[in-house]
């Protein structure tokens, strides 16, 4: 049978979709986007927009392929407790590893399958990938769940509490991926910095992973500022396999809003930690996530946030308008910001992000940087530096190889 997977959302979803793909491939299913017999939609619920997109994709495939088996899984499905009519198999955030079993059961008895669990009580669902088919870099999910309960966020409710992959299994999986040709490994999770297994934490894991032969780059997909301790900063300073880039979510540059969001730091703490990191790596790229238009964000708080981001001088800001999520603490706050104001503030932050990104990239014009080539098309090769600058280069540079390439100009 032929199948297709459509993935929405984060790098954790990407990893889980790749894992499901490996399960199906190993059972003789054939990947085919054009005429699939089975369509799997890995959903997202981080915002209202994510919900709408998840529903839209499900409905689209149901109409386009009326005779296909439609499977929906992931965070949106968990959020709506599996209550969806358009799907034949419904899986929340547990049992993705049993997808082949569920397909075989459905083929046999044609009865709808719904698998939704209480996410507060489950263990880490172990997954392992030996080779990524869709990326030069490979993701490894080392952790799932979150204990922070930021007031705006639905994810702890749909992903459950923090739980981690066994320490030795992470090492083994990374070794497999490197031996199968991957030059860069990206560690990912819902709250990656909270990794813990057998008495070992993220620092212990990083310390072991940088020793792996033939691993060229090790990247953390995202990490909270409070989890970048002195040990990790020391590794950043001394281990060049750790890339020259960190994604550290800020969410707001106003202390009042950070408190309302139930974030676990203030702007002084954040700024001091960034200064420490930059003392270890002078030109490190620091990107961030920012929510605008959160409850209580007046013009004063917006300006504070804007000026703080200018002060930190991020190399890129991923900007999101606040999205009200039923079931979160923020729903009880009141003092909402109207949509027109949100859009205007998003636009201003995107302009700032473009300015800061250009300033950061311009530092490297005339310099040679290591570039991992990820694709070749239209007579050019494309890849990323370790500080995550996308580079367009001559086609003489070959796929999945690292080259020192001189940066000559920017089109940002």
How open is the CA angle 341-347-349, to the nearest 5 degrees?
105
Q: Is 43 helix (H, G, I), strand (E, B) or coil?
A: strand
Which pLDDT score, from 0 to 100, does residue 236 have? Answer: 97
Mean pLDDT of the chain: 96
Fold of 250-361: Transcription Regulator spoIIAA (3.30.750)
Residues of 350-360 as b/e, b for ≥16 C-beta within 10 angstroms? eebbeebbeeb
C-alpha distances (whole Å) from 189 to each of 30, 61, 136, 164, 195 are 28, 28, 19, 9, 9
132 pLDDT above the threshold of 90? no
Task: Summarize pLDDT for 293-317 with one digit per residue, the tens.
Answer: 999 999 999 999 999 999 999 999 9
The enclosing H or E element of 383 equals strand 380-385
**Could you confirm whether domain 2-115 is CATH 3.50.50.60?**
no
Which pLDDT score, from 0 to 100, does residue 131 have? Answer: 83
DSSP 130-169: S--SS-SSEEEE-EE--S---TT--HHHHH-S-EE--HHH
The enclosing H or E element of 108 equals helix 99-109
Tokens 């311009």 belong to 362
Strands (E) across 44-162 are located at 69-74, 89-91, 113-115, 138-141, 143-144
How open is the CA angle 93-99-104, to the nearest 5 degrees?
150
Residues of 92-112 as b/e, b for ≥16 C-beta within 10 angstroms? bbbbbbebeebbeebeeeeee
Which pLDDT score, from 0 to 100, does residue 320 have? Answer: 96
DSSP 277-302: HHHHSTT-EEEEEEEES-TT--HHHH
Which pLDDT score, from 0 to 100, does residue 222 have? Answer: 97
Quickly state the pLDDT bin for 371 (edges 50, 70, 90).
very high
Which pLDDT score, from 0 to 100, does residue 412 have? Answer: 74
CATH architecture, domain 121-243? 2-Layer Sandwich (3.30)
Which pLDDT score, from 0 to 100, does residue 136 have? Answer: 86
Is 336 within 8 Å of 375 (Cβ atoms)? Answer: no
C-alpha distances (whole Å) from 128 to each of 97, 131, 189, 365 are 10, 9, 14, 40
* Spatial separation of the C-alpha atoms in residues 259 and 264, rounded to whole Å: 8
Is 163 within 8 Å of 143 (Cβ atoms)? Answer: yes
Task: Summarize pLDDT for 54-75 with one digit per residue, the tens.
Answer: 999 999 999 999 999 999 999 9
* Spatial separation of the C-alpha atoms in residues 151 and 162, rounded to whole Å: 17
Which pLDDT score, from 0 to 100, does residue 184 have? Answer: 96
* Spatial separation of the C-alpha atoms in residues 166 and 173, rounded to whole Å: 11
pTM reported for the whole predicted model: 0.95
34 Cβ contact list (under 8 Å, min separation 6): none
Q: Phi, psi at residue 214, to the nearest 5°? A: 75, 0
- Alpha-carbon torsion angle 219, 221, 224, 230, nearest 10: -10
**Eight-class DSSP state of 264:** S
Percent of the chain's residues with pLDDT above 70: 100
Is 236 within 8 Å of 280 (Cβ atoms)? Answer: yes
Is 39 within 8 Å of 24 (Cβ atoms)? Answer: no
* Spatial separation of the C-alpha atoms in residues 257 and 243, rounded to whole Å: 31
338 pLDDT above the threshold of 90? yes
The enclosing H or E element of 232 equals helix 230-238
6 Cβ contact list (under 8 Å, min separation 6): 39, 40, 41, 42, 57, 61
């Amino acid at each position: 049978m032929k199948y297709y997977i459509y993935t929405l959302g984060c790098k954790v979803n990407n990893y889980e979709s790749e894992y499901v793909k490996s399960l199906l491939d190993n059972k003789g299913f054939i990947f085919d986007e054009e005429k699939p017999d089975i369509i799997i939609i890995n959903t997202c619920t981080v915002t209202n927009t994510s919900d709408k997109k998840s529903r839209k994709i499900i409905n689209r495939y149901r109409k386009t392929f009326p005779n296909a088996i439609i499977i929906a899984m992931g965070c949106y499905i968990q959020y709506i407790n599996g209550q969806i009519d358009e799907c034949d198999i419904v899986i929340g955030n547990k049992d993705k590893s049993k997808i082949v079993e569920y397909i075989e059961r459905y083929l046999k008895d044609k009865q709808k399958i719904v698998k939704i669990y209480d996410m507060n009580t489950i263990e880490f669902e172990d997954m392992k990938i030996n080779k990524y088919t869709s990326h030069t870099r490979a993701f490894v999910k080392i952790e799932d769940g979150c204990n922070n309960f930021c007031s705006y966020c639905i994810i702890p409710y749909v992903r459950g509490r923090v739980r981690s992959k066994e320490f030795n299994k992470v090492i083994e999986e990374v070794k497999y991926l490197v031996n199968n040709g991957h030059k860069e490994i990206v560690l990912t999770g819902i709250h990656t910095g909270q990794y813990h297994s057998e008495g070992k934490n993220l620092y212990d894991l990083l310390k072991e992973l940088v020793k792996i032969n033939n691993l060229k780059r090790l990247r953390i997909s995202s990490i909270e500022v409070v989890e970048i301790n002195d040990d990790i900063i020391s590794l950043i300073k001394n281990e060049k396999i750790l890339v020259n880039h960190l994604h550290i979510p800020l969410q707001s540059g106003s202390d009042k809003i950070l408190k309302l969001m139930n974030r676990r730091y203030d702007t002084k703490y954040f700024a001091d930690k960034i200064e420490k990191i930059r003392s270890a790596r002078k030109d490190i790229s620091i990107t961030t996530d920012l929510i605008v238009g959160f409850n209580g964000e007046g013009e004063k708080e917006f300006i504070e946030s804007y000026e703080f981001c200018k002060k930190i001088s991020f190399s890129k800001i991923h900007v999101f308008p606040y999205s009200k999520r039923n079931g979160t603490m923020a729903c009880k706050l009141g003092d909402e910001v109207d949509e027109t104001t949100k859009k205007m503030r998003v636009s201003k932050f995107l302009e700032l992000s473009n300015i800061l990104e250009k300033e950061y990239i311009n530092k490297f014009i005339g310099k040679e940087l290591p570039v991992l080539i990820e694709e070749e098309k239209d007579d050019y090769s494309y890849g990323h530096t370790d500080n995550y600058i996308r580079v367009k280069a001559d086609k003489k540079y070959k796929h999945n190889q690292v080259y020192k390439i001189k940066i000559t100009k920017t089109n940002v």
